[in-house]
A and B are shown apart, each in its own frame.
Chain A
């Protein structure tokens, strides 16, 4: 497209002449980061804050021990009153067929490039996550095999997300450090099946509560186009007291 090529030259020339007088700034790598980077809470308090902030967004949160996880998942699925679920391909098999659970009849669609129409028929979705940020009650998906393609956490009306306590950091900068492997935070973390730590992710979705709007008279209404229900199971997998997030 010649229009675009001409414009490119023109814009870059204008920018060059506009910035000529200012000395080319050194790559300051974000300045000096005078704001809060590290969290101050213990692992237990960090997890509690994460749970509290999620609840403020109207998310349903339960906690469980690692050995109880499959039962906890089954209980959530059962309580949802839904039968048909979609799941990313990388989930542990135990999550999908809760052997200890007496009730059967859950229908699972494993997402191997399912068409949108099929995913639309699912009533719920079950995924893991890359990270949880306590301060803002945010769940971060990097869309690995445990978290799935973006579409599966979008069309179903109900999202059940499993967050391990060791995946929770306190501040947003701690999450970014975890991505870039700059902080001590990444050592000793047990993030399973996720995009390799130390790489800037190409796809990210930051989720803070169920979809919402305040467009009519600033009244917050839960659930517009994304999942109207966000349920979270926090798994207490950390050695209590040790800081996993750095």
Chain B
């Protein structure tokens, strides 16, 4: 826990993996924030109950999950060819396809397009990929104001907050807090905290922007290689506004978003809304193909972003991470996320998927604490609509982090390393093992209270007892009991004879 002392308790969450403190440190202030935890628990309970009901009524759910993971695996195996096919079809339909190897490249391309269009303001549909490349602060610094239009994103943008969930980014904010932010930033004097009134305020606030701002930025839920089409899934209609009204549309999409065929959507669209928001279908899903004359933006740019994804593609176990369709079901199911919320993960991708995605996107240079932020209970795997075996990837990443740490000579000064080497020697020799058991019983006896539990240990042992109790060792091991028992029966037999 020495890390605790190195970092001051933070007020504003840091969602940049390069700068964020390790998970246990970032989690502490959140665990003490009872308001936040209350908001979180309420919202998660609501989504979980709705999802469970709608998944239950779907009798072919497991077949859909199997099909979805198959489609995604096929897409990933053929990724290069599918991206080229997408590029060719999208270009033929009037779109302009750009490629960005990293975040800086993507930001540069977007700014160039906006400069060319001569705009100083751009409207945005919620896109986690743009948060990943930290687009908003970059545009702001370059003189272009990026105006978020998703209700949750407005709450965060106006309230100077950070997203804590990939589907419901302002999950941690309650109605009273939203009322305060809107009243202050929109200059509305009398505003009730009724979600209906708050939604109305957002509608009025944005209407004029939708009609006047000439450029928009979106993400993409799916790219269709067969047709060169892009699909965006949303609820509020702000997405449709951004996709339809401006003259210039810029879409930023991770390279893993591509699907081979149009009718692959018949699987994905059945899984996504049920998993994400617990609805049979989200209110609006839009598909467009390049530019349609007379309908919607007449200039369409799409940026295909790598930013670490191709390195994940190369890993045998890790590759399945790229199946993710960003539904957020894993975070809603996760007992760890439920306690800390999203900010502890130090990345725009929180929860179990964040714990495997972030360190891999960072190519294991940052966020090494995240694979350990899990109890490996497997609830995330069970709900994942594309069957990502998150616990399996977590274990692989833990091994990679540990291997990395154990490379140099410094490992000989690591108590954990020395302890495990000693355990290895001990567990492989019965005589040593029994001796250690006897020694341990005597040593731990000093710390075992009358109730049979150890409540605190000194030194390395405190790492365990700081948050958990440990059962004291029993007076007799199984071996000892067994030997006593067989001896006894032998004596009985002799007696009877």
Contact = CB atoms under 8 A, between A and B. Distances in A.
A92 interface: no
B244 A176 contact: no
Interface residues of B, number: 100
Chain B binding site: helix, strand, loop or mixed by DSSP? helix
Given A15-B79, A16-B80, A35-B60, A149 B295 contact: yes
Contacts of B98: 1, 4, 7
Given A3-B108, A34-B63, A224-B237, A208 B280 contact: yes
Contacts of A31: 67, 70-71, 74
3 tightest Cβ-Cβ pairs between the two chains A and B: A226-B237, A18-B314, A225-B237
A213 B235 contact: yes
Nearest to A117: B211
Interface string B77-95: 1111101100000000100
A151 interface: yes
12 contacts: A3-B105, A14-B310, A14-B314, A17-B314, A143-B292, A150-B295, A206-B281, A215-B168, A217-B46, A221-B195, A226-B236, A226-B237
Contacts, number: 258
A212 interface: yes
B294 A149 contact: yes
B299 to A, nearest CB: 15
Contacts of B78: 19, 24-25
B243 to A, nearest CB: 8
B391 interface: no
Contacts of B304: 11
A203 B314 CA distance: 35
Contacts of A217: 39, 42-43, 46, 174-175, 195
Interface in A214-246: 214-219, 221, 223-227
Interface string A24-49: 11011111011110000000000000
A19 B244 contact: no
Given A15-B313, A217-B174, A217-B175, 12 more contacts: A30-B267, A31-B67, A34-B60, A53-B280, A154-B241, A207-B283, A208-B280, A210-B283, A214-B277, A216-B170, A218-B43, A225-B206
Nearest to B210: A225
Interface string B282-316: 11111111101011100000001010001101100
B237 A221 contact: no
A25 B74 contact: yes
Contacts of A25: 73-74, 77-78
